[in-house]
Structure 1
Amino acid sequence: MAPDEIDFHKSIYDNVHGFIKLTKLECEVVNSLFFQRLRNVRQLGLMDYVFPGALHNRFNHSLGVLHIADKMIASLQDNNSLIGKRKVIRMAALLHDIGHYPLSHLIEGVVLEDARSKIKPTDSYTTDISLDTDEDDKIDLNYHDIHKLNFDLHTTRNPSGDFAHHERITSLVILKTEIYSILQTEFSDDEIKEIVQIIAGTYPGPEKLIIHSELDADRFDYLLRDSKHTGVIYGLFDLDQLIRSLKLYKREDNPIVVDAKSRKAAEHYLMCRYFLYSTVIYHKTTVSFEIIIQKIYKGLMERSLVYSYFKLIDFFKDPISSKKFLDFDDSYFFNILKKVYDKDIELEDDEKYEIRKDLLLDFITRVLERKPLKMVVEYQQLIERNKSIQEPPFELAVIDKIIRDTQIERDWYITYKKNVSVTSIHPYRSLSEKTIPEAEQYETIKIIETGKEDIKYLVEDSSSVISVLSKFKLSIMRVYTKDFSYKEKINAAIHDYDLEREKHGL
């Protein structure tokens, strides 16, 4: 069957995909102020501090996701899947990042953690985070219409209380700004709700898999785009081959599967993602600035100098107020940093703040003058994915001893841990098991043999290199500190500790 007909209005040239076709309605969305805001939100945070070409933004990426999503839909519709859904999925792909935070994910994590720790749970949901403050100190948002909308839209994904996630903010931007009026010219209210739920991954149908799966348009685009702009070739894979091989399996959960003939393309895709992350995303200097940015935003948010989730949802109470969100971009963040740096903003200091004033000023200076943290030591090794290891410098008692011995401030003993897996199955599961957690049902690559009905995970295919690599994870553990003198002190203390362990046969 031929794909749904689309009346294209114009084309935009993209340096990754070539010409990207848009409908008239999609052009109106792209030209709206809220979509144009994405030009000022970097795709990779401060990655350009390490890879100077990494200055691409969420605007380019969103167009790329639209382009790839449409290729996926057209291929699937050729096989009689997702008929009548092309326009809805295209719009979800186009709008999927319209609620993103400045510097992409760097700031989002800080706001998310703050919201989850402060929002008072209701009878309808509970948070899964250990709460350090008394219930009386929690913020009750039951009265807040925008928060209630945020909750009601995505109840199936909401037990964790991840209200501040950028996909949830995206829902508010779509429903509470001019974007909604634009969409109403061609989409019904039910279709608009479908769009926001596809974006958040809470839509019950397979349409969400185009945006939320191991083989989604979002991941496909950022691998190709990030590789091109960083100059690292590890993320380049055979996109067309993968898309041609995709099928929607006719089962209750409707997973997207790969034709077994294209298993090598799927393997290559997974390997590309693994190498790009381990080489670029987790580069030691990249991580250094990521740590700094998160500590800066936390320190500024403690002092009410930057937006928290509670401030953001207030923006969407009415159309006029919602325009404040237009300024919530990278420039917003850097302008505050420059005002603090120039002493136009005077920072308060109080015991209640987790990030001290002098520490916050140091971090801000580091960003503006490009002075990364100094990496003291790094441990990298491939280990079995179910195995837990703990290197001496990361044990709390050891950290306390090293700080005492070196007489450095605890704030300057900064640890970083990351486990990087080739696949996303965690823990490893077989399709022969009767129950698979919902989160894993669409986060694992599955393959199907032509002419057969049974599907299996790629990792279960004994002819696939992924079946071997899936049993391991790359464990990255690092210690960062202030400068070279601090590094020497910590290194000496770690060395003494290692010698002591060897002496006792540990």
Structure 2
Amino acid sequence: MATIRFRDTIHNFIAFEGKEVDLIDAPVLQRLRGIRQLAMASLVYPGALHTRFDHTLGVTHVAGQMADALGLDTEERRLVRFAALLHDIGHGPFSHVSENALERFANRTVLPAGQKKEKIHELITVHLIENDKRIRDILGGDDCKRVIKLLQEGYGDPVLRGIVSGPLDADKQDYLLRDSRFCGVDYGVFDIHQLQRSLVAEQHNHAQELMIRLDGVHAVEQFVLAKYYLTTMVYRHRVRLITDQMITRAITLGIEKDSIPTLQKLYEFDGSPTFIENYLGWNDSRFMMTFGHDAPDGSRCKLLLNRLNQRWLLKRVFHLPVKEFTAEARERLLDVGKPANNELRRKIELAVASVLKEEFNADVDADFVILHSYQIKSARESSRNDEASILVSRPGQIPSHLEKESTLFASIDERLSDQFVEVYAPVEWADHTDRDRRLARLAQPLKEAIQKNLPGIQQHFEL
């Protein structure tokens, strides 16, 4: 049985053997070398050049460590490591940034009923595990089915599921440390060894579930806070948000206005083998070369991508907490990025462009004006994310929840989540003084332009 070792930046020497080695050498895994973990974050954090491939190896190593800490048998350990190796193979260029375009342009009408509400990149992952000849030859049909069940809802063992996808999963444990290291920050650092020593599998609701020991609460607090601070300081960094939105808008313009056939084929998912075969041929560099450098002059998509290549970024001209708007406006603003609200978003962006044209005494291309809203969950809410709450083992008693056992999180009001509305636009200012003066003048007119174009909202009021 072949064994290989990698010298990993985060975990030092990590080992893989047998079928794991064969999977790593498969084209669907090697493709991840060309997809950066944090898209264009290197424009603000120059070291953030790590890839989905690096991360995948790290997640697999951590999944194995968790299995060992929990005392899982050889077969269970093998299964969670296979799932970890394959969990990201459905990602497109620029990782999560592609998800927005896939969700917007997928042809869901042709998908089976059970897939119409699934995330597209997850459907691509399942399709690859089911149909990629190299993967099936390596794992065999039965293991492919088991891995798919583990990556989807419904697998019978909550402990294995918790290692692969849950509030304490191997994915989070790796990306917090990896993203911190490559961004050159300490926000995501936590004691991974103490966290793993705190893991335990115990009976709850008629099944074994992943929990932490009571004496591991502080280690989990550190982990959750690391996730909160890295989200706040890196994933929601102003430049990171702008670059992500520029890529997303470039794709949208390339499909809807430029009608670029190659771009349409890349994002109009229909579940067909033809789509998958084409999709697997793309990574970050091919995307930028094809739709940036090689695209026809005058292409709206090319203009935005070339701005990214030159680090000629859109400017943030508006930033305001959602709570500063009327109660009626808040929910609409938080949903403004959803495909169902495309017309509303366009209407607001046209109004914003008009205000900016008056301020800067120059034409402002509304196609490049981007309205964006986002949320930063409270540290307490971050302990759950979209998954179940973290369970705390209490021997001889019913398991408790982290929020009840943690004095720190009990003191945090869960409602204290931050929600913001921002606008990015193709404008310039002479210097910081000019910027501050213009932003002060624009604050009220832009707020009114946004609010008055929301359906059913007439009221204007002062900042």
Q: Same fold (TM over 0.5)?
A: yes
Deviations along 1:389-426, one digit per CA (max 9) or x if unpaired, are 5899x998987765545545544542222111145759
- 1:462, distance to aligned residue in structure 2 (A): 5.7
Aligned to 1:362: 303
What is the CA deviation profile of residues 53-105 of structure 1, one whole-angstrom value per residue up to 9, with x for unaligned ones? 0001111111100100001011112xxx5673111111111111122111101
**Please, what TM-score do these two structures have when normalized by structure 2?**
0.80
- AA aligned opposite 1:443: A
SS at 1:70 equivalent? helix
Partner of 2:454: none
Aligned length: 426
Letter paired with 1:346: P
Residue of 318, 325, 328 corresponding to 1:377? 318
1:416 equivalent among 365, 369, 372: 372
State the 1:497 CA deviation.
7.5
Q: Is 1:168 the counterpart of 2:123 in the alignment?
A: yes
CA RMSD of aligned residues (A): 3.7
Aligned positions of 1:140-179 closer than 5 A = 141=110, 148=112, 155=114, 158=115, 160-162=117-119, 164-165=120-121, 167-179=122-134
Report the more deviating stretch, 170-179 or 457-466: 457-466
Checking the alignment, whether the CA contact within 8 Å between 2:318 and 2:443 is kept in structure 1 is no
| 1:247–1:467 Cα change, 3 Å | farther
Which residue does the alignment assign to 2:60? 66
Deviates more, 1:218-227 or 1:300-309: 300-309
CA contact (8 A) 2:28 2:89 kept: yes
Q: Deviation of residue 108 (structure 1)? A: 1.9
1:43 alignment partner in structure 2? 37
TM-score using structure 1 length: 0.74
1:445 lines up with 2:394 in the alignment: no
Residues 211, 497 of structure 1: alpha-carbon distance in 2 compared, 3 angstrom cutoff: closer
* Structure 1 residues 201 and 61, CA gap change in structure 2 (3 angstroms): farther
**Is the 1:65–1:94 contact (alpha carbons within 8 Å) kept by the matching residues of 2?**
yes
Rounded to whole Å, the distance in 2 between the matches of 1:505 and 1:333 is 44
Letter in 2 for 1:42: R
Change (3 A) 1:280 1:204: same
Could you tell me the percent identity over the aligned residues? 25
CA distance in 1, matches of 2:69, 2:323: 37
Greater shift after overlay, 83-92 or 64-73?
A: 83-92
Query: What SS does the aligned partner of 1:296 have?
Result: helix
Look up the equivalent residue of 1:44 and give its one-letter code. L
- Partner Cα distance (1:266, 1:505) in 2: 43
Q: Deviations over 1:281-328 (max 9, x none)?
A: 1111111110110011222234222234556743469xxx84x44422
Query: For the residues of structure 1 that align with 2:74 and 2:328, how far apart are their CA atoms?
Result: 45
Q: Which residue of 2 aligns with 1:190?
A: 142
Maintained 8 Å contact 2:349/2:371: no
The aligned amino acid for 1:245 is S
Deviation at 1:334, TM superposition (A): 1.3
* Cα-to-partner distance string for 1:189-213 (whole Å, 9 max, x where unaligned): 2321111222234424322221110
Identify the residue that residue 133 of structure 1 maps to in structure 2.
none
Q: Name whichever structure is richer in helix by fraction.
A: 2
| Contact 1:380 1:477 survives alignment (8 Å) | yes
Is residue 201–residue 212 contact of structure 1 (8 Å, CA) maintained in 2? Answer: no
5+ long unaligned stretches in structure 1: 1-6, 121-140, 142-146, 348-356, 430-438
Note the C-alpha offset of 1:336: 1.1
Question: Which residue number corresponds to residue 443 of structure 2?
Answer: 494
- Tell me the distance in 2 between the aligned counterparts of 1:313 and 1:498: 42
Pick from 287, 292, 298 the counterpart of residue 241 of structure 2. Answer: 287
Structure 2 unaligned spans of 5+: 337-343, 358-363, 452-459
Give deviations 1:211-253, integer Å, cap 9, x for gaps: 1100000011000100000001110101111111112231236
8 Å CA contact retained: 1:420, 1:473? yes
Instruction: Give yes or no for contact 1:249–1:256 (8 Å, CA) kept in 2.
Output: yes
Map Cα deviations across residues 247-300 of structure 1 (whole Å, 9 max, x no partner).
223123643211111111111111111111111111111111101100112222
| Aligned CA distance change for structure 1 residues 460 and 94 (closer, same or farther; 3 Å) | same
